[in-house]
Amino acid sequence: MGGEFRTAYVAITMGVALMLIHYAEFYHMTADDRIKQQQSELMTDALSGVYSRHAYVKAVEAFKSSTALPENTTVFSIDINGLKAVNDTAGHDAGDVLIVGAARCIQSVFADSGPCFRTGGDEFIVLGQMTQEEAENALLRLADETAQWSADKQIKLSLSAGYARGIEHEGFTIEELIKKADQAMYTAKTNYYKQNGLTSRGLHYAVEP
């Protein structure tokens, strides 16, 4: 009788031990999955679906690890015109629609040229590899995408864009090239507001010399 009890006790103990081992393996697997999911969420902007500001910081750090910018490095800075006016008059849901629309238009044009990041409320950066001709053609395509998107919506999308190419700014760091692209975008935005006020449609762009 005592032997049978000991045998049963050992069996139960081994069974519990195996359950704990399997549970531990399962827990670590799901923990790894959670980590991967969290990393993915950090790298993706929740609203627009393009890369996040966190991913942008990582990308800039990767550029900084190189002694020189890759050939044909081209930075685009793109911003939505009149977003505050839309938020104030039509509500933030309408503003979110514009942000998502802008992201889709930009992604459609630049997906094969380099990653697109949402770096702020209505601010986007593309870190691309393009020739001068490809950059100009990309802006034309972005204008078409913006117009087509606006044609199907009650609210209209207007973008200001600027770009700068590393080959034209020898010795620049990636941060300096981004600053040049930002300056070009702000030039385009200033001209847009002078000409159109707070509401219009289409693409307005400039290249910073």
**Contacting residues for 73 by C-beta, under 8 A, at least 6 apart:** 127, 128, 129, 165, 166, 167, 174, 177
CATH number attached to the domain at 53-207 = 3.30.70.270
Q: How far apart are CA 131 and CA 184, in angstroms?
A: 18
The dihedral of CA 42, 58, 80, 83: what is its sign?
Answer: positive
Provide the whole-model pTM. 0.77
Minimal CA–CA distance to 141: which of 200, 91, 78?
78
Q: How far apart are CA 64 and CA 68, in angstroms?
A: 8
Minimal CA–CA distance to 180: which of 37, 77, 41, 43?
77
**What pLDDT is recorded for position 141?**
96
**Amino acid symbol at 21:** I
Strand arrangement, sheet containing 73-80: 116-118, 123-129, 73-80, 158-165, 202-207
**What pLDDT is recorded for position 206?**
47
Domain regions of the chain by residue span:
1-43, 53-207
- Digit-by-digit pLDDT tens for the chain (209 residues) are 545 545 554 455 555 555 555 556 655 656 555 555 555 557 999 999 999 999 999 999 998 887 788 889 999 999 999 898 888 888 999 999 999 999 999 999 999 999 999 999 999 999 999 999 999 999 999 999 999 998 878 888 999 999 999 999 988 999 999 999 999 999 999 888 888 765 444 455 544 44
**What pLDDT is recorded for position 197?**
66
CB-based burial label for 186 (10 Å; 0-12, 13-18, 19+): middle
Phi, psi of 125 (to 5 degrees): -125, 135
Q: How far apart are CA 99 and CA 49, in angstroms?
A: 10
Looking at the annotation, which residues are catalytic? 122
